[in-house]
Structure 1
Amino acid sequence: MVAGETSGDLLAGLLLSGLRERWPGLQSAGIGGPKMAALGFEAWWPYEKLAVNGFVEVLRHYRELSGIRTQLGDRLLADPPSLFIGVDAPDFNLGLEARLKAGGIKSVHFVSPSIWAWRGKRIHKIHQSVDHMLCLFPFEPEIYERAGIPASYVGHPLADKIPLEPPRAAARQALGLAEGDTVVAVLPGSRGSEIKYIAPAFLQTVARLARLRPELRFVMPVVPRLRAMVDPLVAQYAPDAPLTVVEGRSHEVLAACDVTLIASGTATLEAALFKVPMVIAYRLNTLNWHLMKNMGYLPWVGLPNILAREFLVPERLQHDANPDRLAQDVLDWLDNPAKADAVRQRFTEMHHLLKRDTARCASDAIAQVLQAR
């Protein structure tokens, strides 16, 4: 298996738990993180190696990433596994999967690349690389079937893991928050580049909101390895705000909060599953932004909006992700309880749609691939 960054480690860990239940003697190795390691996964490289974002950052790390992919491919071809599973990270995994498939190793890809949103021609590369695609969203299998690629809708493992009724009271108690507090969760991302480009604007927004509404409480979960980047930014941009920084614990924070200011990505779907009204924002290196801004097919970038096919929640990108606009968006949720309740109901419907016992559905599909082998 190969999983990149925090979200991939989370998804791969949830998948591994189902695979180990079906095949108790399963052995797994490759590239992964702590959630996978907790299930017996042997990480030959840490998942942080793949946690780069945008064209510029990928180019900077291209030689190292290419070397890792070549070494991993050599190792797997020399000692073939029963199956290779690429978890997200398509820029890394699809090339590796194509090489393995050519060498006779079956490959399953877990998490369809967003070809329905941008880079649609990538489906030709997927056809060359993948024996079976495991899709998280119900509209995706048809796209692959039209291209002759076997695919299964397996639901989203987070919809199985996150309870339909968020444990708000317990989460607040664990975080030291009072039941009557109005809590804003601040999630600037899990990559170093996201902390660099997004966290300053988020923290300036926190400072502005704290001045406008002194009664607000703010909680920011951060990936432990990025804490050293975050603390100086907090001191610089929001030194006097009632902000608590916690390591990990993002699910507790989302369960406890009233609204979240959140970077676009998998975390937005987690927030929706916790039924949290949100403001989605994203900022990139300027060159990356100019390269990517005209490449999308859809008017939305946030997963909740893509699934709803409408702007359920605001999205603020690049220059629009400024403290004045973000603060106003947060206050709009807090000052309109009926609007917030309506979006929570939509998120509940979304949760039911995605809750499919993903581990079982995925292991059923993988069993078919292994039988064909």
Structure 2
Amino acid sequence: MNNDGLGSWSTLNASLEDIAAENGTDFLTPQDGFDHELSPYDIADILISISILLISIFGIIGNGTVIWLLGFCMKRNPFTTFILHLAVADLGALMSLSPLSIMRILTLFPFFTFYNNLFAVFENLLWFMYNTGQYLLTAISMDRCISVVFPLWHRCHRPPHFSTLVCATIWIISFLLTAINLIVSIFNILQYTIFYHLLMNAILCLPLMTVSTLVLFRKVYFRSQQRKKGKALTAILLALLFFLFLAFPLTCIVLICFFTPFVDYNVRSVVISVGLLCSCLNSSINPLIYFLIGRNKRARSRESMKVILQRLFKEEENCREEEEVPVQTRM
């Protein structure tokens, strides 16, 4: 049974092997590791996979709590609609990484085998959720950027269901792109489509997120100087920074591997595993950010997550209203 995709975490490496074969470069296949003891690379993969699995458990609990509270226990506003959909995307990514981690560990041993189709299901689900989260965070960063640069216009001229429409559009576009990649790979119409997809994401999303992050950082800095705390704005800024430092490197790693197919198979596999670990951390950390930023440090009693989220997003609305009152007065 062929385990190429399983042994290398992803069919990304399988595609890279095809490129290397065209260039006359040989790679160590996963089956080669079955005839001897586990190599240091295999041990590193196992440790990283276990770390991903453990982090995913906490991330699933955290994102599940956020989804439950924002979706069923709190009144939604345009801002929390974005946060809810982002939590769903993060939850989906973690629920894809967990079985992938388990299968990755088990397939390092010769007495465990899985069908590549089973791995492909979770792999495509992972890329679907990963890309959706990236698009959602880009939309959130742009929305927050506009809200702080043009607060009056953002509040008065923004369509009432704009957030819902944007989120629905992002889910549809991400699904269609994932479906196209899957169909193209199944029928072998065009090779290496996932690389072009990720390259397009980097070209479109990275500049927008970087500019928005700089604008929000400037706004948060001056707010701290004026002793006006916008906790929700700070939470989004941290989420953007963590995405740029944790989640986006996975895209960079895959693109680098694509353009350097001569790199050893084992090294490439471990590097991709590290990228997935960073992405797992990013998908798990947002609920922790909401908790740390939204909690009342002076409160003597322990607060529930619902109270913390209510304070976090209610304060953001209050801050926006305070900003607009002076503008309206001057007019």
TM-score range, shorter chain: under 0.3
Q: Which has the higher helix share?
A: 2
- With the length of structure 1 as denominator, give the TM-score of the two structures: 0.25
What is the TM-score when the length of structure 2 is the normalising length?
0.27
In our comparison, the structure showing a higher alpha carbon Rg is: 2
Larger proportion of strand: 1
Q: Higher RCO, 1 or 2 (CA under 8 Å, sep at least 6)?
A: 2
